[in-house]
Amino acid sequence: MKLSEFKFELPENLVAQHPAKNRDESRLMVLHRDSGKIEHRTFKDILEYFDEGDVFVVNDTKVFPARMFGNKEKTGAQIEVFLLRELNTEIHLWDVLVDPARKIRVGNKLYFGESDMVAEVIDNTTSRGRTIKFLYDGPPEDFYKALYSLGETPIPKEFITRDTEAADKERYQTIYANNIGAVAAPSAGLHFTREVMKRLEIKGVEVAPVTLHIGLGTFRTVDVEDLTKHKMDSENFVVPGTTAVVVNKALDTKKRVCAIGTTAMRAMESSVSAHTRLKANEGWTDRFIFPPYDFKIANALLTNFHTPESTLMMMASAFAGHDLLIEAYKLAIKEKYRFFSYGDAMLII
């Protein structure tokens, strides 16, 4: 398929700037792949589509406060530093993005707040990318505590144009977040409340975790018309053996396995055994899923409404069928569904 087949006009006012007042009161559009039927529900109604023995596979990654603001030595100019990934834990080496990048060169030092945290720029990686080394001598736990106290919740400013607010610290995090390492939240999971999770448990629906630490590559612009030429950034993931057992039991007994978000789906599709079952696995994945694609594990997908020409929309298209997804997106715009991280949800079954 071509990039242009995922282009549509998204009114700016439909990109959600804030989450719904209550997580589970977001809207839920339900797509039935076999009949093409489309339903309009509320998220808490999701339990009506699942029964005992079905499985929800969630991404339990935890967002860390990746956006920091430092001052350049001598000039004092404010520089935004967005932490991407730690390259070396012993010497505190990180891949980051800086803005404005033109002011930051190798050898520059950045000072953060009133703290003793100082970083030196070691290398240029891309036009905005840098490798920096934090000059810190204390114990590792003190380093991370200091680092995270300086950062703010990394809501995606390309789409959420307001300033970060105190409420984002809680709301831009799933209630089951457990393993820290993501710079963006797995947005399909943001709709779950403890009440919904309890009702799932009572109904006999199992919840099984995988971990995929989301990087900014998930949102990177696709700039090639031929999708086979697009390269995804690698992201670290773990599929525990206990999750593989739960999922495979559901598959063997013809139950539903629902990927809660595209990242949970990518982790599973990166861990398929020769017998088309889920296997325990960990490592890095750069798997790019777009139509046509034969999904091996999950037979249901919960996802949000995504921005035009995004890799997230492409995966949803591969799962739902392109024509049905495009029809659903047109209807979502007409019915004023909210898009992106803090937006509404879509269940594809």
- Domain shared by 245 and 145, yes or no: no
Dist CA 50 CA 201 (whole Å): 11
Let me know if residue 116 belongs to a domain.
yes
Please check whether residue 184 lies inside any domain of the structure: yes
290 pLDDT more than 90? yes
Write phi, then psi, for 312 (nearest 5 degrees).
-70, -45
Tell me which of 152, 185, 213 is where a domain ends: 152
| Confidence bin at 261 (pLDDT 50/70/90) | very high
Question: Which of 116, 132, 123, 125 minimizes the C-alpha distance to 79?
Answer: 132
pLDDT, tens digit (0-9, with 9 covering 90-100), for 161-217? 999 999 999 999 999 999 999 999 999 999 999 999 999 999 999 999 999 999 877
| Same domain, yes or no: 197 and 293 | yes
- CA 187, 192, 193, 197 dihedral sign is negative
Distances in whole angstroms, Cα of residue 342 to Cα of each of 22, 30, 168, 178, 215: 11, 18, 10, 20, 18
Residue at 97 is within a domain: yes
Rounded to an integer, the average pLDDT of 62-74 is 93
Final residue belonging to a domain, choices 152, 187, 203? 152
What is the distance between the alpha carbons of residues 273 and 267, in angstroms, rounded to a whole number? 13
Question: Is the same domain home to 223 and 296?
Answer: yes
Q: How many domains does the chain have?
A: 2
CATH number at residue 342: 3.40.1780.10
DSSP 253: T
Residue 173 lies in a domain: yes
pTM here is 0.93
Give the mean pLDDT of 30-44: 98
- Residue 344, pLDDT > 90, answer yes
Average pLDDT over residues 18-46: 97
Q: Quick check: is 161 in a domain?
A: no
Range of the domain at 260: 3-63+169-348
Domain end position, chosen among 97, 121, 152: 152
Pairing of strands 27-31, 345-348: parallel
Classify residue 158: in a domain, yes or no: no
Both 102 and 145 in one domain: the answer is: yes
Give the pLDDT of residue 285: 96
So what's the pLDDT on residue 216? 78
- Encode pLDDT of 100-143 as tens digits: 988 899 999 999 987 789 999 999 888 889 999 999 888 888 99
Does one domain contain both 225 and 327?
Answer: yes
Residue-wise pLDDT tens digits, 202-231: 999 999 999 999 987 777 789 999 999 999
- Considering the domain architecture, whether residues 81 and 102 belong to the same structural domain is answered as yes
Angle ∠(54,57,62) on CA atoms, nearest 5? 150
- Number of C-alpha atoms within 13 angstroms, CB side, residue 325? 29
